[in-house]
Structure formats: structure tokens, C-alpha cells
Amino acid sequence: MRYRRPRGVNDITPAEVGRWQRAEEAYRSLCRAYRYEEIRTPSFEQTELFIRAVGEETDIVSKEMYTFEDRGGRSLTLRPEGTAPVVRAFLEDKLQGQDRERLVKLFYIAPIFRYDRPQAGRYRQHHQCGAEALGSSNPAVDAEIVSLAMSFYRTLGITQVTLLLNSVGCPVCRPQHLARLKAQVAERLGEMCEDCRRRYADNPLRLLDCKSPVCREITAGAPSAVEMLCEECGEHFTGVQAALQALEIPYTLEPRIVRGLDYYTKTAFEFVAPGLGAQDSIGGGGRYDGLVEQCGGPPTPAVGIGIGLERVLIAQEAAQKATGLEACATQRQGVLVVALGEEAWRPVLGLCQALRQAGHPAEVDYRRRSLRAQLSFADKERFRWAVIIGEEEAAADTVTLRDMASGEQETLPRGGLVSRLKRENEPC
RNA sequence: GUGGAUGUAGCUCAAUCGGCAGAGCACCGGACUGUGGCUCCGGUGGUUGUGGGUUCAAGUCCCAUCAUCCACCCCA
């Protein structure tokens, strides 16, 4: 009997893990530059947190959560999104301190769990690089978050990124907008497609996004969310655009951008990139001015983003293919200690240990193969050095050091190897 | 959740009408006894996703199931 991984989840194999680490490190160092601090929250929370924060009627809560009861009868849920846990920690760990006006800037890299139907770029466990800025209503903070994401994409070589921007209003103007939209459509609802009749009840903003000609005709002329914004939201939206222009970040106004989580207010944005098929969104976020208060804290305006790492890596690969840039050959590194015969084998383990303690990745071929085979192995595995110990070297307490790139060799006392390599520690 | 396509060696893929499961790459070895990359020669490697069914005979046909992919939906 063989086990297989559950549907929709992935192993990150040794062959891939380098790309993951490079992307994660790029994100961490960018966040440092933008002065965001890392926070790590648990993989699961009280179910109630997500229901309250994300919204009972959302797809995420109503059909995508991994919810279970622990042995104590508590209902827990695997993190289906990154913001709610951060807000919870912000309040519970009192991260704002005594300064009520303080801007708290946090980032995370964390697995996210959703019971979706898997397809390329959509998984039941994926990873998000997120950032949240809590405590400011300044539209420049929205732009800062956008700028952080843009820099991240650029660092990874993903250049064909489009920023889609919208404003979904606030508790004052959004209901008015929805009411007006539904009113316009109501009379002819019967003529609309099945999907749109469902949207009318579940997600009216999506009515504007239908491909059916009839539905298009019915919704034609309906006001977009932006046109219905109240004064405060309108001003904020103008401010965000001004800040983006100041940062020279191009964007496309896109009224269809609707975040699938109820807590969003005002700014909503999404980044799309080529090479991903239908799942082309490589990041999304927006403002959530009401969430902290809704979670039991003081009124605290906030804005955040989530970036899907799996999709970012797919987009990166597509971008590299498009530009004909092959991943550069991994550089030679480390030492293969080659032992030939019984006498030679004796000093090998100690030599290996000494090399490792001096910081050189060092390995022995435990298969005890021929010199030819071992050198071939050293080449394939991209070792920088081979240290050969045969009968001669064993008898004289020396080693032969071979540079695998040039083929040059020298013989030196066994005890002098570590200090000899110390001089050569720079990459070739 | 809805509709569709595809599952054969580590990888990429063949296999006519239902008739001996194959190639290239990779891997191991040799040519070259202690010197890698090139070349040539040889070799290892398979529960044809899984479970049933039809048949003298199933990779091939039928049913179920699992997985992946595509579109919808949704989202990162």
C-alpha cells in the first residue's frame, strides 16, 4: 500500500526549494527595507475569528474552511487567509503599545488552507507573503503597500505585472451603491442568465462582469462603485491615485475588482501576470478600516496585501522563459573526499568532519567506487574540489587537491588542507 | 460545487484493428586498472494511477474510483 499526498497539496522538493528560499529571502529583505516587522501566528485559530472577520456569507467561510473540533470540544479552523490572525495578534499582543496613533507595520510568510477545487495555480494549501499596516488612514500607506508588492515582483524578474485598482466604498456608500444596482436590474431579473440571478442575491457587484449580451445590456449604464463613493471615500481614492502617480506606479481602474472578503473598505487592488491561465492573480489586497473594531479593538484604519507564492513562482518561471533567460548554472561548491582503498579510507571521516567544521560542505562517496566514478560524481554534483586520498597519499599523510573547474591539482600535507581551502572560499 | 481532457520507466513520450510493453534522455558499468565533462559499447529500471468487468487474449473496450490539467466559479 502506498500513500499519496492529499488532493490539492504539494511537496516542495529539494530541486525546487532553492527557488522558494530565494523568493522568501527577497521578500524578507524588502520588508525590512520598508520597515515591516515579521510576525508569526498559529496555523489555526478559533473558527469564530474567521467567521466574524471574513464574513459568514463569503465563499471562504461558507464552503472553503478546514474546520475541526479538538479533543476539548473547541471549534478550530486552519488559517484560510492571513489578515484576521494578524489583527487578532495586533489586539491580543497589544502591538500598538501606548501610542494610539502609531502605525504598526507587520509582514508574514505563511501557509493558507482552503477547500477549493484544485487546478494549476490553485491549491488547498498555498503560501502567502502578506503585509499589513495598521493605524493609518493615509492613502499614501495604501500606495506604500502596493509599492512593496511591485518591488517584490520586479526583484523576482516578473515584469509584466498589471495593477488593477478599485474602491469598494465603506459602510456608508456601499449599501447605497448595491441598492441602486439591484434596483436597476430588478425589473428584468427574469431575463438574466442563471449565474446572474444567483449573483443578484449573493454578489451583486459581479453582475457587471457577465459575458452574456442580454445581461450586459441590462446592466449597461449602471453606476460603478467609484461613481457612487461618498465624499470621504472619493477623496481617499483620489489620494491613493495621487500617491501611486508620485511613485510612478502605473495602474488600471477596474470596477470588477471585488475582494471576496467582507472586511474590505475603500481601496481594493489586485496584481495580475501572464503565464498563469485563469488563475492569473498573483496578489491582492486592500483597506479594511472596520475590521479591528469589529474584532473588539479600538477604531483602527488599516490596509494589507496577500501575495500567493506558488503563483509568483509560476509567473517567474513564465517570465524567465519569455525572456529566454535560463536559470544560471548552480555554482560549484564544497569538497568531495575521494578515498581509494582500505588504507586511504581511515583518515577520510576525520578529514570530512574537519572540513565541515571549517564551513565547507563536505561529502564522501560511501559507495567506495572507482576514482573515475567518484570524479564523475563530483562533477555532476557540482563540487568545487575533490580531495583524493589513495595509497600514496595515505602513506605520506598527504592529500591531492583537485580543482574541479580547471582540473589543476596539487599535493599538500593532510593537516594543511583546511587552511589551504580557507584562502579559496570566494565563489569561482 | 459544474462541465471537459489526460494518467505507460526517474523525465519526455511511442505502442496499427484488442495480439511478445518500447525509444530518447537520465542512471550504472566498460572501452580508459589512480583522474570528471566528449565519443562509442553494454546494462539496470514497469502492478501501463487503482479496483472491478468483457474477452482465448486488455496499455488499448466497459464501469467505478483516485490524481493531475483546462474552462466555469472563486481567489492568492
CATH code for the domain in which residue A359 is found: 3.40.50.800
Q: What CA–CA distance (Å, rounded) separates A257 from A301? A: 21
Q: Using a pLDDT cut of 90, give the percent of chain A over it.
A: 71
Q: What CA–CA distance (Å, rounded) separates A411 from A135? A: 65
Phi, psi angles (nearest 5°) of residue A207: -55, -30
- Give residue A329's pLDDT: 67
- Protein-covered nucleotides on strand B (Cβ within 7 A): 1-2, 27-30, 32-37, 66-76
CB A77 within 8 A of CB A65: yes
- Strand B lies under 7 A from the Cβ of residue A261: yes
* Number of domains into which chain A is organized: 2
CA-to-C1' span, A369 to B29 (A):
11
Statement to judge: residues A140 and A277 lie in one domain? yes
Q: Is A428 a domain residue?
A: no
Q: What CA–CA distance (Å, rounded) separates A298 from A293? A: 5
CB A358 within 8 A of CB A418: yes
Statement to judge: residues A385 and A242 lie in one domain? no
CA-to-C1' span, A198 to B73 (A):
12
CA-to-C1' span, A334 to B44 (A):
30
- Strand B lies under 7 A from the Cβ of residue A381: no
Band (pLDDT 50/70/90 cuts) for residue A32 is very high
* DSSP 3-state of A25: helix
Q: Is 90 exceeded by the pLDDT of residue A196?
A: no
Which residues in window 150-179 of A are less than 7 A from strand B by Cβ?
none
Which residues in window 52-91 of A are less than 7 A from strand B by Cβ?
58-60, 64, 81
Statement to judge: residues A269 and A394 lie in one domain? no
Bridge partners (DSSP) of residue A77 are A45, A67
Bridge partners (DSSP) of residue A283 are A271
| Domain stop point among A297, A322, A347 | A322
The CATH number given to whatever domain includes residue A146 is 3.30.930.10
Rounded to an integer, the average pLDDT of A349-376 is 94
Name the closest nucleotide to A390, judged by C1' and CA: B34
Q: What is the ipTM of this complex?
A: 0.88
What residue numbers bound the domain in which A111 lies? 14-172+230-322
Name the closest nucleotide to A1, judged by C1' and CA: B50
CB A420 within 8 A of CB A375: no
- Per residue in A121-155, pLDDT (tens digit) is 999 999 999 999 999 999 999 999 999 999 999 99
- Burial category of A101 from C-beta neighbours within 10 Å (exposed 0-12, middle 13-18, buried 19 and up): exposed
CB A102 within 8 A of CB A96: yes
